[in-house]
Amino acid sequence: MKEIIKEYIEASPEKMISYAEYMELALYQPEEGYYIKERQKIGKEGDFYTSSNVSDVFGKLIGKWFAKNSKSLGLPPTVCEIGAGNGRFARAFIQGWNELNDEHLSYCVVEASPYHRRLQEAELYGLENVRILYASTFAETGMKQGLIFSNELFDAFPVHVVEKSEGIVKEVFVGHNNGQLKEIMVPVMDDRITAFLNDQELELQEGQRIEIPLAFEPFIKSISDNLMKGLMVTVDYGYTNEEWMHPSRRGGSLRGYYQHQMLHDVLQHPGEMDITSHVHFDALKLIGEKYSLKFVQKMRQDEFLMAAGILEELAEHNDHNPFSEASKRNRAIRSLILPGGISQSFDVVVQAKGLDHQAGKLF
């Protein structure tokens, strides 16, 4: 992978590439990109965990939540999950839906990785009362109404990196010296970056670094261009603009996860580690509003799960066996809602299109 990146740098006129280009190669290059390669990425043998891999409770609860709300919102039984990983969330969601609703469900999976698609097909094989479709983009699904869901999707978008140095906002590029990847800073030349900082009213302090997710806008526009009526539910970790300005975040949020270790130098192990940055939640909201995706609510994941009825999932039992299904389920529920658990690091953003005031009745 490093050789591919080096060749790409050499082919560029300035002998350097943006961090967004670097991430696009390291994560999505068709043969050697991290998300494309055939290797386990999630769980004990991978590089990171997600809520849906802690327990099936997470996916089942959201499936039940949509089953309870779809009719009142006038939405068809249609779901699109963008970036479905190993398929565990999808399986749990479908099972949760089927527990409360016998209406036939259409479940679309948008997945660019052939490896992950095979995992998903194996995980979802044999499920009843559901029609499963696969596509490479949301536009390909043909979906016009329903629920769009993603879990840890936006944090993996390629981002540009800028830093204020010597009173000037500069973009950080990636070059190389005898094959060793290195950073190069030059004054910002991309007007889109300047516009983003102005739109978000982000005034960097000297020495402050921040990521700029220019890929958000075309992606959200594509969603809105194809969706007539529905909800978009985004689960991810990130900051508001006010939180971005806290002194503790002056170094930005770009980082890598390699064998469950967090690395701040993302130029290490390209193609072998996950690279992420925290989501700009205010940008997600503002860009959504620009393209008719009305902001409904942002809440911490544990608060969302409580509002969706997770406490009703706790099993009443007198079984003292800690390995029983009821005991394991109760532990999983507690891990999702207790202080210090995984849910306190994530937020759920709900946006809606064509639902007028109905979406406000979800919680």
- The DSSP 8-state label assigned to residue 156 in this structure reads G
Q: Are residues 230 and 309 in the same domain?
A: yes
Q: Could you give the residue ranges of the DSSP H alpha helices within the chain? A: 2-11, 19-28, 51-54, 57-73, 88-100, 114-124, 138-141, 191-199, 216-226, 241-244, 281-290, 301-307, 325-337
pLDDT the model gives residue 38: 75
pLDDT the model gives residue 44: 52
Q: List the end-to-end C-alpha distance of the chain, in Å, as a whole number.
A: 46
Contacts of 178 (CB under 8 A, 6+ apart): none
Q: Are residues 233 and 114 in the same domain?
A: yes
275 vs 26: CA distance, rounded Å: 8
Q: Are residues 149 and 71 in the same domain?
A: yes
Q: Are residues 206 and 284 in the same domain?
A: no
Instruction: Give a yes or no: residue 191 inside a domain.
Output: yes
Instruction: Give a yes or no: residue 143 inside a domain.
Output: yes
Instruction: Give a yes or no: residue 315 inside a domain.
Output: yes
User: Strands 279-280 and 238-239, how do they pair?
Assistant: parallel
- Assign 136 to helix, strand or coil: coil
pLDDT the model gives residue 337: 73
Q: Are residues 336 and 233 in the same domain?
A: yes
Instruction: Give a yes or no: residue 328 inside a domain.
Output: yes
Instruction: Give a yes or no: residue 182 inside a domain.
Output: yes
- Give the residue ranges of the chain where pLDDT is below 50: 41, 43, 47-48
Instruction: Give a yes or no: residue 174 inside a domain.
Output: yes
For residue 52, how many C-alpha atoms fall within 13 Å in the half-sphere facing its CB?
Answer: 23
- Which residues constitute the domain of residue 190? 2-22+158-212
In degrees, rounded to 5, the angle at the alpha carbon of residue 130 between the alpha carbons of residues 124 and 136 is 65
The two structure tokens encoding residue 232: 């978009």
- Which amino acid, one-letter code, is at 12? S
Q: Are residues 205 and 166 in the same domain?
A: yes
pLDDT the model gives residue 52: 58
pLDDT the model gives residue 139: 95
Rg of the chain, C-alpha, whole Å: 21
Q: Are residues 320 and 298 in the same domain?
A: yes
Q: Are residues 168 and 57 in the same domain?
A: no
Q: Are residues 231 and 337 in the same domain?
A: yes
Contacts of 145 (CB under 8 A, 6+ apart): 75, 76, 78, 227, 228, 229, 230
191-212, pLDDT tens digit by residue?
999 999 999 999 999 999 999 9
Instruction: Give a yes or no: residue 31 inside a domain.
Output: no
Q: Are 80 and 223 in contact (CB under 8 A)?
A: no
Q: What pTM did the predictor assign?
A: 0.90
Q: Are residues 123 and 232 in the same domain?
A: yes
287 vs 196: CA distance, rounded Å: 10
Q: Are residues 146 and 286 in the same domain?
A: yes
- The DSSP 8-state label assigned to residue 1 in this structure reads -
Q: Are residues 17 and 121 in the same domain?
A: no
pLDDT the model gives residue 284: 98
Q: How many domains does the chain have?
A: 2
Report the CATH number that the domain containing residue 133 is assigned in CATH. Answer: 3.40.50.12710
Instruction: Give a yes or no: residue 251 inside a domain.
Output: no
pLDDT the model gives residue 47: 47
User: Strands 168-177 and 229-236, how do they pair?
Assistant: unpaired
